[in-house]
Each structure stands twice: as C-alpha cells, then as structure tokens.
Structure 1
Amino acid sequence: MAGRYAQLEPLNAEAHAALLFRAFEGQDQLWHYMYDGPFSSSAQFHRWVREVETKDDPLFYAIKNLETGHIEGVASYLRIAPEAGSIEVGSITFGPALQRTRAATDAMYLMMKWAFEAGYRRYEWKCNALNMPSRRAAQRLGFSYEGIFRQAAVVKGRNRDTAWFAAIDAEWPGLREAFEAWLSPANFDAEGKQRERLGDLTSLVRVSSDPLT
C-alpha cells in the first residue's frame, strides 16, 4: 500500500527489525499500553518481529515515511472476520519521527481505505480506556465512539477497560473525502502548517463522540 506520504510494507524481520528498533530505541513509553514490549535489546526485538511476521492475524505492516525515506512505525490488522465483514486496526506504534506527521495520517488512511475497498463493513479501533492519546486519535481519524467494555482484559498484570470505536462502510465515502481533503498539498501552507484540521472534517461524518476527548 502506497500513498502520497507513506508506504506500508508487510513486516519482515530481515528488512525491518533493525530499522524499527532504532526508530523506537529509548522510547519505552510507546509500549506502556501494548500487550508486548518494551524490548531491552535489538536481539529481543528481532525475535518478536520474527514471531509476528509469520502470522495472518494479527497481520503486521511496517510504515515507511516517504518524506524521510525511513521505516518509522508499525501497525496491524487483527480480529479479521471476513464472514462478519469486520476487521480491526491495532498495535499502532509510531516512533517519534513519525508522530504528528502527514505520513502517519496517510498510513492510517491507507489501512482504512484497503479495508473498505476489500469489502469489509466494519472497521474497528480499540484501546485501553486510560490511553487518552489513542482515544483522541480515533476521533480525529473518524471512528465513532461506542463505549467502554469494563474489565475486558488483564495486560501486564494491570486491569484494562477497553474503549471501543468503529467506522462502517456507509461512512466511508465521507471519511475518504475528509482524508483526501486533509492530505492534499493545498491543505498546507509554505511552512507545512495545516489549513483545515482533520478532526473538524471527520466530525461531520462521525455519529458519536467520546465524552472525554
């Protein structure tokens, strides 16, 4: 999958593990709400990538920032249920260089675009209810808030209440228009500052909002 600012490549340990470890090195907070990590060494991280690269669910991708030419993040599809027309995006981990960039948004757009164009009816986003940056990101990207599943899991010895968000196929045309308008070069001035905010555009499509964001 390739867009204007980002390219997604099937995760491969030989091609991506060392590059990703450098992108994430010293950023243990990235893994606080994740099921895996943090990783204390490149060898440990390489073993994790080798383990997940063979799986079909979750199905991981490495994210290349086309503006820098570097591999700077990962994301996956998971809970893939073609019979129900449902698929989730998750395990989203952006190194500092990728965070708050056009490439990061483009990567999320490409994954949503593929899901709906592949015929899925429902595209989900779930996160730890304490993870407010993730909840804000879900809203910005056009996912509608669906509630909190209390005591849904135990992760790293801690209770996890899970916040649920989703977009459905009927909303996709409006979300696609919002993403394409935001990603257009015309939406940025000479200094790269956005003219319109993506969250303002997607708010016209979302059917519900997170009360805490």
Structure 2
Amino acid sequence: MMSNLNQYKQEIGELLPHWTPRQLPQKNNLKGKYCLLEPYSADRHAHDLYKAYSHAEDDRDWTWLPIGPFKDFDDYFQQAKSFEKSHDPIHYAIIDSATKQAIGSIVLMRIDPINGTVEMGFVLYSPLLKKTRIATEAQFLLMQYVFDELGYRRYEWKCDSLNTPSRKAALRLGFTYEGTFRKAVVYKGRSRDTDWFSLIDTEWPNIKTQLQTWLSSKNFDETGQQILSIEQIRNAL
C-alpha cells in the first residue's frame, strides 16, 4: 500500500481525495456466455435447484455451510423464500444458458458501500455445476459487476479453514490469502476458524484478463476439456 507523511511526519495510507461511497449492488440479471445470474426467486428457481442438489450421492456438500441439508422440498422452499426476500445477502440463481435450468446459487454479502468492500459467499453449487465453465463464469460475472460497474475496492472470500475445496477455489481464481481468524464462528454445534481471502481493484485488470482467456471457447477442445488451466495462463501472462 502506498504511504504518505502527514504534518507530524507520521506515515499514513494512500490519499483518496476523490473517493465517494459506491452504489449498493442491485438485483439485476448478469449475463455471460455460458450462464445467467438471476436474482433469486423461490417460485422460479427452488424446484430446479432442489432437483439439481438431489443429484448428489450424499449430504457432504452441506458440511461447511451454515444451512442444510434439507429433509424435503418443503423444508428447502422455506429457506428459498428467505433467500428471495434478503437484500444483504443478495442471492443469485445460476442458470445454465443451454438448458435454462437453475443449477446453483451464489451471493453478495456484507455489503459496505462506504468503504467499497463486499464479500462473495454462500456458494451452493450442485453436481450439475461443479467443475464446469459455468462454475468459473458465475464467479467472474460477480467480480466484473462489483469492480467494473460498481467501482468497489475490495472483494472478499471467506471459508472454514478446514474447507480445502473452497480454499483451492479461491487461490485458483486469483484471491490472496490474508490469514485465519481463530474461533471466529460457532455453527452447526461446532467451532470454526475462518480463512480470509481478498481481491482488490488494482489486481482486478490482470485477474480479469486471466479469467477471460480461460473462459474463451478457444481454450476448450471439442470434448469441452480445457487446453490451458488458469494457473498456466497466469504464469504465461
């Protein structure tokens, strides 16, 4: 971080004379090549999502989430209605552009327009979504919205420190690990240490290029397999 000296010869942070509070994220559609993020609607999305989650062999996908698993559709639908009503977090359903079906959801949360920070979280990816181009593009669309349209300075990712898949995903997408908050949360009858990751506005242009390059149709063969990984693209750039 850039530093300056005040009148007392003390180091202070980068000066932001033209900074103004950012706008709040809105419940808008975010359209990509492979998917569409729609503001969550229980009536439109809950049936598709419950069906998509039912493709899982067991309940392990809910281990590190504060909600779930759900005993039946009615149980899930009650949760879905709360998703729709919420304004922080803002829940988005992830729609597969090919099938027009909702196959996962994602949120923007802990929204702080005064300081220009926001957290991405509550990633509920079904087996139909995991390890697909849509899984990465959904993340990209939110990043692009936050940085390019809203002008935020900081984009956060937090997870249980024992959630190895989430940690790996954050690093793959270009987030920087910042540390672990010990005994930060109590959930589902247990303690959680929380790992913090972030992406900031000055890093975004490079990360944006990496993700756009990876998402390009030219980076996938006729069977849909990637030609270069994000890490390979990052190293090349």
Common fold: TM-score over 0.5: yes
Could you tell me which of 116, 122, 125 is aligned with 2:147? 116
Structure 2 unaligned spans of 5+: 1-29
Indicate whether 1:141 and 2:173 are aligned. yes
Specify the SS of the correspondent of 1:154.
strand
- Aligned ranges 1:2-81 → 2 under 5 Å: 2-25=31-54, 26=56, 27-81=58-112
Counterpart position of 2:214: 182
1:123-163 deviations in whole A, cap 9, x for unaligned?
00000000000000000111111111110011101110001
What CA deviation, in whole Å up to 9, does each residue of 1:93-123 have, x standing for no partner? 1100100000111111001110102111000
- CA displacement at 1:201 relative to structure 2: 3.2
Aligned to 1:166, the other structure's residue is in SS state strand
Amino acid at match of 1:174: N
The offset of 1:29, in angstroms, is 1.4
Distance in 2, matches of 1:189 and 1:80, equals 39
Structure 2: how far apart are the matches of 1:202 and 1:163? Answer: 23
TM-score by length of 1: 0.93
Amino acid at match of 1:149: F
Measured in 2, the distance between the counterparts of 1:57 and 1:36 equals 16
- Partner of 2:203: helix, strand, or coil? helix
| Counterpart among 137, 148, 155 of residue 106 in structure 1 | 137
* SS of aligned partner of 1:194: coil
SS in structure 2 of the partner of residue 170 of structure 1: coil
Deviation at 1:67, TM superposition (A): 3.3
Q: Is the 8 A contact 1:140 1:202 kept in 2?
A: no
- Kindly indicate whether residue 119 of structure 2 is the aligned counterpart of residue 93 of structure 1: no
Task: Work out the number of aligned pairs and report it.
Answer: 205
Q: Aligned-pair RMSD on alpha carbons?
A: 1.4
Moved over 4 A (4+): 202-205
Structure 2 distance, partners of 1:152, 1:161, is: 6
Q: What is the deviation of 1:69?
A: 2.8
Secondary structure of 2:131 counterpart: coil
| Map of 2:10 onto structure 1 | none
Task: Report Cα offsets for 1:144-202 as digits up to 9, x if no partner.
Answer: 11111110011101110001100000011001100110000111112222111013334
| CA deviation vs aligned residue, 1:1-39 (integer Å, no higher than 9, x gap) | 010111100000000111111111254211111111111
Counterpart of 2:232 (choices 194, 197, 200) is 200
1:65 aligned partner, one-letter code: D
Distance 1:105 1:204 in 2: 19
Q: Is the 8 A contact 1:6 1:65 kept in 2?
A: yes
TM-score, normalised relative to structure 2: 0.83
